[in-house]
Structure 1
Amino acid sequence: MEREEELFYSERTSKNQKFDKRLIAHVVKLAEEGTPRRDLIKTYKMTGETLGMWLDKYSSILHKRKLHSTAEKRSIVRAIHGGMSIKEAVIVYNISSRSTIRNWIKAFSDENIEISISNPSEMSKKSTSQTESTEVKALKKALDEANLKIRALDTMIDIAEEQLKIDIRK
Protein backbone atom coordinates (compact mmCIF):
# COMPACT_ATOMS: atom_id res chain seq x y z
CA MET A 1 0.00 0.00 0.00
CA GLU A 2 2.83 2.39 0.77
CA ARG A 3 4.26 1.92 -2.71
CA GLU A 4 0.98 3.03 -4.31
CA GLU A 5 0.83 6.14 -2.12
CA GLU A 6 4.39 7.14 -3.02
CA LEU A 7 3.30 7.33 -6.64
CA PHE A 8 0.88 10.19 -6.10
CA TYR A 9 2.58 12.31 -3.43
CA SER A 10 6.10 13.18 -2.40
CA GLU A 11 7.26 12.24 1.07
CA ARG A 12 8.57 14.81 3.52
CA THR A 13 12.29 14.76 4.11
CA SER A 14 12.07 16.73 7.36
CA LYS A 15 9.47 17.80 9.88
CA ASN A 16 9.78 21.42 8.73
CA GLN A 17 8.76 20.55 5.18
CA LYS A 18 5.10 21.10 4.30
CA PHE A 19 2.83 18.19 3.44
CA ASP A 20 2.04 17.55 -0.21
CA LYS A 21 -1.45 18.77 -1.16
CA ARG A 22 -2.24 15.41 -2.79
CA LEU A 23 -1.42 13.69 0.52
CA ILE A 24 -3.68 16.11 2.39
CA ALA A 25 -6.56 15.34 0.01
CA HIS A 26 -5.93 11.61 0.38
CA VAL A 27 -5.83 11.73 4.20
CA VAL A 28 -9.03 13.82 4.36
CA LYS A 29 -10.74 11.33 2.04
CA LEU A 30 -9.66 8.43 4.26
CA ALA A 31 -10.95 10.23 7.36
CA GLU A 32 -14.29 10.87 5.66
CA GLU A 33 -14.52 7.18 4.75
CA GLY A 34 -14.18 6.28 8.42
CA THR A 35 -10.51 5.49 8.94
CA PRO A 36 -9.74 6.12 12.62
CA ARG A 37 -7.86 9.36 13.22
CA ARG A 38 -5.34 7.58 15.42
CA ASP A 39 -4.37 5.32 12.50
CA LEU A 40 -4.01 8.26 10.10
CA ILE A 41 -1.83 10.17 12.57
CA LYS A 42 0.44 7.17 13.08
CA THR A 43 0.62 6.16 9.41
CA TYR A 44 1.33 9.62 8.00
CA LYS A 45 3.45 10.86 10.93
CA MET A 46 1.47 13.98 11.77
CA THR A 47 -0.05 15.53 14.88
CA GLY A 48 -3.68 15.38 15.85
CA GLU A 49 -3.86 19.16 15.51
CA THR A 50 -2.66 18.95 11.91
CA LEU A 51 -5.26 16.34 11.03
CA GLY A 52 -8.00 18.33 12.78
CA MET A 53 -6.99 21.47 10.91
CA TRP A 54 -7.07 19.61 7.57
CA LEU A 55 -10.52 18.21 8.31
CA ASP A 56 -11.84 21.63 9.33
CA LYS A 57 -10.42 23.24 6.22
CA TYR A 58 -10.85 20.60 3.51
CA SER A 59 -13.51 18.16 4.71
CA SER A 60 -17.09 18.10 3.51
CA ILE A 61 -19.74 19.87 5.60
CA LEU A 62 -20.98 16.57 7.04
CA HIS A 63 -17.79 16.01 8.99
CA LYS A 64 -17.40 19.47 10.44
CA ARG A 65 -18.25 20.12 14.07
CA LYS A 66 -21.94 20.68 14.59
CA LEU A 67 -23.09 23.42 16.90
CA HIS A 68 -26.04 22.37 19.04
CA SER A 69 -28.67 24.80 20.25
CA THR A 70 -29.48 25.07 23.93
CA ALA A 71 -32.81 23.35 23.30
CA GLU A 72 -31.04 20.40 21.61
CA LYS A 73 -28.60 20.13 24.51
CA ARG A 74 -31.46 20.14 27.03
CA SER A 75 -33.28 17.49 25.04
CA ILE A 76 -30.23 15.22 24.99
CA VAL A 77 -29.66 15.71 28.73
CA ARG A 78 -33.32 14.88 29.40
CA ALA A 79 -33.00 11.72 27.31
CA ILE A 80 -30.03 10.65 29.42
CA HIS A 81 -31.91 11.39 32.64
CA GLY A 82 -34.77 9.34 31.19
CA GLY A 83 -32.61 6.23 30.97
CA MET A 84 -30.50 6.53 27.81
CA SER A 85 -26.79 5.89 28.36
CA ILE A 86 -24.21 8.49 27.37
CA LYS A 87 -22.73 6.04 24.87
CA GLU A 88 -26.14 5.58 23.22
CA ALA A 89 -26.68 9.35 23.11
CA VAL A 90 -23.32 9.84 21.36
CA ILE A 91 -24.44 7.43 18.64
CA VAL A 92 -28.08 8.50 18.34
CA TYR A 93 -27.48 12.26 18.34
CA ASN A 94 -24.13 12.12 16.48
CA ILE A 95 -22.17 13.90 19.23
CA SER A 96 -18.40 14.09 18.93
CA SER A 97 -17.53 12.69 22.37
CA ARG A 98 -18.90 11.51 25.68
CA SER A 99 -17.20 14.34 27.54
CA THR A 100 -19.26 16.86 25.57
CA ILE A 101 -22.44 15.31 26.91
CA ARG A 102 -21.03 15.10 30.44
CA ASN A 103 -20.29 18.84 30.28
CA TRP A 104 -23.88 19.52 29.19
CA ILE A 105 -25.19 17.43 32.08
CA LYS A 106 -23.12 19.48 34.53
CA ALA A 107 -24.23 22.74 32.95
CA PHE A 108 -27.92 21.89 33.09
CA SER A 109 -27.93 20.16 36.47
CA ASP A 110 -28.52 23.42 38.37
CA GLU A 111 -31.35 24.34 36.02
CA ASN A 112 -33.04 20.96 36.47
CA ILE A 113 -32.75 21.17 40.24
CA GLU A 114 -34.51 24.55 40.29
CA ILE A 115 -37.37 23.26 38.14
CA SER A 116 -37.89 19.99 39.97
CA ILE A 117 -37.77 21.27 43.56
CA SER A 118 -40.97 20.11 45.12
CA ASN A 119 -41.87 19.38 48.70
CA PRO A 120 -45.04 17.31 48.65
CA SER A 121 -44.11 16.00 52.10
CA GLU A 122 -44.76 19.51 53.42
CA MET A 123 -48.49 18.95 53.02
CA SER A 124 -48.49 15.56 54.74
CA LYS A 125 -46.44 16.70 57.76
CA LYS A 126 -48.99 19.27 58.82
CA SER A 127 -50.84 18.57 61.98
CA THR A 128 -54.60 18.87 62.16
CA SER A 129 -54.33 21.62 64.77
CA GLN A 130 -52.83 24.16 62.33
CA THR A 131 -54.71 27.35 61.73
CA GLU A 132 -56.57 27.98 58.51
CA SER A 133 -54.20 30.77 57.39
CA THR A 134 -51.18 28.46 57.61
CA GLU A 135 -52.98 25.86 55.53
CA VAL A 136 -53.92 28.46 52.94
CA LYS A 137 -50.28 29.62 52.70
CA ALA A 138 -49.11 26.04 52.23
CA LEU A 139 -51.73 25.43 49.56
CA LYS A 140 -50.72 28.60 47.72
CA LYS A 141 -47.10 27.51 47.83
CA ALA A 142 -48.01 24.05 46.51
CA LEU A 143 -50.09 25.66 43.75
CA ASP A 144 -47.19 27.93 42.76
CA GLU A 145 -44.85 24.93 42.58
CA ALA A 146 -47.38 22.98 40.52
CA ASN A 147 -47.77 25.91 38.13
CA LEU A 148 -43.97 26.16 37.78
CA LYS A 149 -43.77 22.45 37.04
CA ILE A 150 -46.56 22.74 34.45
CA ARG A 151 -44.72 25.59 32.72
CA ALA A 152 -41.52 23.53 32.67
CA LEU A 153 -43.33 20.52 31.20
CA ASP A 154 -45.06 22.69 28.58
CA THR A 155 -41.67 24.08 27.58
CA MET A 156 -40.25 20.57 27.26
CA ILE A 157 -43.20 19.46 25.13
CA ASP A 158 -42.80 22.54 22.89
CA ILE A 159 -39.12 21.77 22.38
CA ALA A 160 -39.82 18.10 21.68
CA GLU A 161 -42.54 18.96 19.15
CA GLU A 162 -40.21 21.41 17.43
CA GLN A 163 -37.30 18.97 17.21
CA LEU A 164 -39.21 15.79 16.39
CA LYS A 165 -41.82 17.47 14.15
CA ILE A 166 -44.56 15.48 15.91
CA ASP A 167 -47.73 16.80 17.52
CA ILE A 168 -47.45 15.49 21.07
CA ARG A 169 -50.52 17.35 22.34
CA LYS A 170 -53.58 15.94 20.62
Structure 2
Amino acid sequence: MYLYIKALHIIFIVTWFSGMFYIVRLFIYNTEAGEKDEPEKSILQRQFSIMIKRLWFGITWPSAVLTLILGLSVWHMLGFTPTWLIIKLCFVAGLFLYHLSLHKIYKQQMQGVFNYSSQQLRIWNEIATIFLVAIVMLVVVKQNMSVVWGLLGLTLFVIVLMSAIRIYKLIRTKKQ
Protein backbone atom coordinates (compact mmCIF):
# COMPACT_ATOMS: atom_id res chain seq x y z
CA MET A 1 0.00 0.00 0.00
CA TYR A 2 2.89 2.33 0.83
CA LEU A 3 4.23 2.36 -2.75
CA TYR A 4 0.78 3.10 -4.22
CA ILE A 5 0.29 6.05 -1.90
CA LYS A 6 3.82 7.26 -2.63
CA ALA A 7 3.17 6.98 -6.39
CA LEU A 8 -0.07 8.97 -6.06
CA HIS A 9 1.79 11.54 -3.97
CA ILE A 10 4.34 11.98 -6.77
CA ILE A 11 1.60 12.22 -9.41
CA PHE A 12 -0.16 15.01 -7.51
CA ILE A 13 3.15 16.80 -6.91
CA VAL A 14 3.61 16.86 -10.68
CA THR A 15 0.10 18.19 -11.33
CA TRP A 16 0.45 20.75 -8.53
CA PHE A 17 3.71 22.09 -9.94
CA SER A 18 2.24 22.07 -13.46
CA GLY A 19 -0.63 24.18 -12.19
CA MET A 20 1.65 26.63 -10.40
CA PHE A 21 3.91 27.02 -13.43
CA TYR A 22 1.03 27.55 -15.83
CA ILE A 23 -1.04 29.84 -13.58
CA VAL A 24 1.75 32.40 -13.47
CA ARG A 25 2.06 32.26 -17.26
CA LEU A 26 -1.66 33.01 -17.44
CA PHE A 27 -1.18 35.87 -14.94
CA ILE A 28 1.53 37.25 -17.25
CA TYR A 29 -0.67 36.97 -20.35
CA ASN A 30 -3.60 38.53 -18.49
CA THR A 31 -1.39 41.41 -17.35
CA GLU A 32 -0.04 41.95 -20.86
CA ALA A 33 -3.59 41.86 -22.27
CA GLY A 34 -4.21 45.02 -20.23
CA GLU A 35 -1.80 46.83 -22.55
CA LYS A 36 -3.92 46.05 -25.63
CA ASP A 37 -6.55 48.34 -27.15
CA GLU A 38 -10.26 47.63 -26.85
CA PRO A 39 -12.03 45.36 -27.73
CA GLU A 40 -9.00 43.03 -27.77
CA LYS A 41 -8.17 43.87 -24.14
CA SER A 42 -11.62 42.92 -22.81
CA ILE A 43 -11.88 39.78 -24.92
CA LEU A 44 -8.46 38.50 -23.85
CA GLN A 45 -8.86 39.34 -20.18
CA ARG A 46 -12.28 37.69 -20.06
CA GLN A 47 -10.86 34.51 -21.63
CA PHE A 48 -7.75 34.51 -19.41
CA SER A 49 -9.95 34.96 -16.33
CA ILE A 50 -11.93 31.84 -17.26
CA MET A 51 -8.76 29.85 -17.89
CA ILE A 52 -7.14 31.07 -14.66
CA LYS A 53 -10.17 30.20 -12.54
CA ARG A 54 -10.54 26.71 -14.04
CA LEU A 55 -6.85 25.91 -13.68
CA TRP A 56 -6.62 27.28 -10.14
CA PHE A 57 -9.67 25.54 -8.69
CA GLY A 58 -9.88 22.55 -11.03
CA ILE A 59 -6.26 21.42 -10.94
CA THR A 60 -3.87 23.45 -8.81
CA TRP A 61 -5.74 23.65 -5.48
CA PRO A 62 -7.00 20.03 -5.56
CA SER A 63 -3.48 18.85 -6.43
CA ALA A 64 -1.99 20.85 -3.54
CA VAL A 65 -4.48 19.38 -1.08
CA LEU A 66 -4.00 15.81 -2.33
CA THR A 67 -0.21 16.26 -2.29
CA LEU A 68 -0.43 17.32 1.34
CA ILE A 69 -2.76 14.48 2.38
CA LEU A 70 -0.78 11.81 0.54
CA GLY A 71 2.55 13.25 1.71
CA LEU A 72 1.41 13.12 5.33
CA SER A 73 0.28 9.53 4.74
CA VAL A 74 3.67 8.55 3.28
CA TRP A 75 5.44 10.23 6.21
CA HIS A 76 3.21 8.42 8.71
CA MET A 77 3.82 5.06 6.99
CA LEU A 78 7.56 5.73 6.93
CA GLY A 79 7.52 5.63 10.74
CA PHE A 80 10.51 7.90 11.33
CA THR A 81 11.81 11.31 10.27
CA PRO A 82 15.32 11.43 8.81
CA THR A 83 17.16 14.77 8.72
CA TRP A 84 16.81 15.18 4.94
CA LEU A 85 13.04 14.87 5.33
CA ILE A 86 12.93 17.66 7.92
CA ILE A 87 14.82 19.92 5.51
CA LYS A 88 12.51 18.88 2.66
CA LEU A 89 9.46 19.66 4.79
CA CYS A 90 10.84 23.16 5.39
CA PHE A 91 11.04 23.65 1.62
CA VAL A 92 7.52 22.22 1.26
CA ALA A 93 6.26 24.71 3.85
CA GLY A 94 7.88 27.47 1.78
CA LEU A 95 6.22 26.04 -1.32
CA PHE A 96 2.81 26.24 0.34
CA LEU A 97 3.53 29.89 1.24
CA TYR A 98 4.41 30.46 -2.42
CA HIS A 99 1.13 28.77 -3.39
CA LEU A 100 -0.76 31.12 -1.06
CA SER A 101 1.02 34.10 -2.64
CA LEU A 102 -0.27 32.90 -6.01
CA HIS A 103 -3.77 32.74 -4.54
CA LYS A 104 -3.42 36.38 -3.51
CA ILE A 105 -2.41 37.32 -7.07
CA TYR A 106 -5.31 35.21 -8.36
CA LYS A 107 -7.80 37.14 -6.21
CA GLN A 108 -6.31 40.48 -7.30
CA GLN A 109 -6.47 39.66 -10.98
CA MET A 110 -10.03 38.39 -10.70
CA GLN A 111 -10.91 41.84 -9.28
CA GLY A 112 -9.10 43.55 -12.16
CA VAL A 113 -6.16 44.61 -10.00
CA PHE A 114 -2.74 44.15 -11.59
CA ASN A 115 -0.09 45.02 -9.00
CA TYR A 116 2.78 43.26 -10.77
CA SER A 117 4.35 43.80 -14.17
CA SER A 118 4.76 40.88 -16.53
CA GLN A 119 8.52 40.99 -15.82
CA GLN A 120 7.96 40.76 -12.05
CA LEU A 121 5.61 37.82 -12.61
CA ARG A 122 8.21 36.09 -14.81
CA ILE A 123 10.71 36.32 -11.98
CA TRP A 124 8.10 35.18 -9.44
CA ASN A 125 7.33 32.18 -11.66
CA GLU A 126 10.89 30.91 -11.19
CA ILE A 127 10.46 30.64 -7.41
CA ALA A 128 8.56 27.39 -8.02
CA THR A 129 11.51 26.16 -10.09
CA ILE A 130 13.88 26.81 -7.19
CA PHE A 131 11.60 24.89 -4.81
CA LEU A 132 11.31 22.05 -7.32
CA VAL A 133 15.07 21.68 -7.71
CA ALA A 134 15.72 21.87 -3.96
CA ILE A 135 13.02 19.34 -3.07
CA VAL A 136 13.89 16.83 -5.80
CA MET A 137 17.60 17.01 -4.95
CA LEU A 138 16.83 16.34 -1.29
CA VAL A 139 14.54 13.43 -2.06
CA VAL A 140 16.93 11.78 -4.49
CA VAL A 141 20.28 12.46 -2.84
CA LYS A 142 18.97 12.35 0.77
CA GLN A 143 21.62 12.07 3.46
CA ASN A 144 24.44 11.92 0.93
CA MET A 145 24.01 15.63 0.23
CA SER A 146 26.30 18.02 2.03
CA VAL A 147 24.46 21.07 3.38
CA VAL A 148 27.27 23.36 2.20
CA TRP A 149 27.41 21.87 -1.33
CA GLY A 150 23.63 21.74 -1.50
CA LEU A 151 23.27 25.44 -0.62
CA LEU A 152 26.13 26.36 -2.95
CA GLY A 153 24.53 24.41 -5.79
CA LEU A 154 21.13 25.99 -5.13
CA THR A 155 22.69 29.46 -5.03
CA LEU A 156 24.48 28.87 -8.34
CA PHE A 157 21.24 27.57 -9.83
CA VAL A 158 19.42 30.75 -8.74
CA ILE A 159 22.16 32.92 -10.26
CA VAL A 160 21.94 31.04 -13.58
CA LEU A 161 18.14 31.24 -13.54
CA MET A 162 18.07 34.99 -12.85
CA SER A 163 20.73 35.57 -15.51
CA ALA A 164 18.60 33.66 -18.02
CA ILE A 165 15.60 35.85 -17.16
CA ARG A 166 17.69 38.98 -17.66
CA ILE A 167 19.02 37.73 -21.01
CA TYR A 168 15.48 36.84 -22.12
CA LYS A 169 14.31 40.35 -21.21
CA LEU A 170 17.15 41.89 -23.25
CA ILE A 171 16.24 39.73 -26.25
CA ARG A 172 12.55 40.67 -25.97
CA THR A 173 13.42 44.36 -25.64
CA LYS A 174 15.63 44.26 -28.76
CA LYS A 175 12.87 42.57 -30.79
CA GLN A 176 10.39 45.31 -29.87
Higher normalized helix content (fraction of residues): 2
Q: Report which of the two structures shows the higher radius of gyration computed on alpha carbons.
A: 1
TM-score by length of 2: 0.28
The structure showing larger relative contact order (alpha-carbon pairs under 8 Å, at least 6 residues apart) is 2
